[in-house]
Amino acid sequence: MMPDLEIYAATVLGAFGATLGLLGTLIAVTVWQGARARVRLARAEAAFGSPVPERPFHG
Amino acid sequence: MHMTFWDHANPTAFMRLSGAVLPWVSGAAGICLCTGLTWGLMLTPPAQGFGASVKVIYVHVPAAMMAINLWLMMVLASGLWFVRRHHVSALAAKAAAPVGLTMTLIALVTGALWGEPVWGTWWAWDPRLTAFLILFLSYLGYVALWRAVPHTEAAADLAALLCLVGSVFALVSRYAVLFWAQGLHQGATLSLDRAEHIANVYWVPLVVTIAGFVALSVALVLARTRTEICRRRIDFLQERARRA
């Protein structure tokens, strides 16, 4: 049930559409990058061992 | 032995705590966003002077608030990095930047879409609009700086410095309408003063939507910080294997 948006239909639907599109893209990229990093970490731990560095910038 | 807060503030503790919190924050974000956006779009009446275009408030205002607040969160995290050399804080600031960048872009795009029918123009060099454009460029610069500097600790230092400098524009974005009594943009939408407050019929769904944007931003920053920590661990393991 879509409300009557009068002459502002393009404005309102455009704003909601742009917002949902940008947020959806950000969420998808975040989930994808996280999954990819976890897989790469699991492979690296299997290959090199799995110590947990408390200071992650330092080797 | 007595342990301080800082003894607990390490990547392992962060991964454990964020892993427990993340599903709940994500769920809260989903519920609040679905409720608030549907309520705002479907059930609020047209407003005097704005007509049905007032519904843009439910995406524009929360995004603009988060654009500023995420930069301020990055300032705090950058300050922690400078003072404590606390690595998770540097990674959290890095993780928050793309989220803030997206929120700023949403605020600019929805503002332009809203401005055209209400002000008769997509863009004006109004103090708040200009400050937001500079904030957007600051976010872009921050993200680019992290990518451009290969040494992670140096990148964290430079990015933290940029963040502290850019905080001026975050504050100007927030208070521009108070500093300069000119320009097209209206004053604060939400106010603790009941006389300045928007009507409850608009305010209640707006607060629900803002809660959704806050929860979503927290969830995204937590998830992205976890990813950054994973990447650092991968680099650490690869570096150690090279040295062995």
CATH for B71: 1.20.120
Q: Is B126 helix (H, G, I), strand (E, B) or coil?
A: coil
Cβ neighbours of B153 (radius 10 Å): 15
Instruction: Tell me whether residue B238 is exposed, middle or buried, using C-beta atoms within 10 angstroms of its C-beta: 0 to 12, 13 to 18, 19 or more.
Output: middle
- B138 lies in some domain: yes
Q: Is B165 helix (H, G, I), strand (E, B) or coil?
A: helix
pLDDT score of B158? 95
- B57 lies in some domain: yes
Question: CA-to-CA distance for B125 and B111, rounded, in angstroms?
Answer: 13
The ipTM is 0.89
Q: Which residues contact B123 (CB under 8 A, 6 or more apart)?
A: B112, B115, B129
pLDDT score of B192? 47
Q: What is the pLDDT of residues A21-49, one digit of tens each?
A: 999 999 999 999 999 999 999 999 888 87
Pairwise CB contact (< 8 Å): A18 & B216: no
Torsion of CA B5, B10, B13, B18, to 10 degrees: 100
Instruction: Check: CB of residue A36 under 8 Å from CB of residue B131.
Output: no
- B3 lies in some domain: no
DSSP B171-224: HHHHHHHHH-S-SS--S-S--SSTTTSPPHHHHHHHHHHHHHHHHHHHHHHHHH
Contacts of B48 in chain A (CB under 8 A): none
- B169 lies in some domain: yes
Pairwise CB contact (< 8 Å): A11 & B98: no
Instruction: Check: CB of residue B46 under 8 Å from CB of residue A7.
Output: no
- State the DSSP code for A57: T
Quickly state the pLDDT bin for A54 (edges 50, 70, 90).
low
Instruction: Check: CB of residue B124 under 8 Å from CB of residue B137.
Output: no
Averages of pLDDT over each 10 residues, chain B, 244 residues: 66 92 98 97 88 93 95 94 90 97 97 92 87 92 94 92 85 66 58 62 92 98 96 89 84
Task: Write out the H or E segment, with its range, that includes residue B123.
Answer: none
Q: Does A35 touch chain B (CB under 8 A)?
A: no
- State the DSSP code for B129: H
pLDDT score of B32? 98
Question: CA-to-CA distance for B73 and B79, rounded, in angstroms?
Answer: 10
Cβ neighbours of B11 (radius 10 Å): 22
- Closest residue by Cα to residue A30 from B139, B30, B217, B107: B217
- B159 lies in some domain: yes
Question: CA-to-CA distance for A25 and A12, rounded, in angstroms?
Answer: 20
Q: Does A21 touch chain B (CB under 8 A)?
A: no
Quickly state the pLDDT bin for A6 (edges 50, 70, 90).
confident
Location of structure tokens 């976010």? B139
- B182 lies in some domain: yes
Q: For chain B, how many structural domains are there in total?
A: 1
User: Domain residues for B204?
Assistant: 24-243
Angle of helix B57-84 relative to helix B200-243, nearest 10 degrees, comes to 40
- B220 lies in some domain: yes
Contacts of B86 in chain A (CB under 8 A): none
Question: CA-to-CA distance for B112 and B128, rounded, in angstroms?
Answer: 13
Which of A4, A8, A54 is facing B10, going by the closest CB pair? A54
pLDDT score of B178? 61
Q: Does A46 touch chain B (CB under 8 A)?
A: no
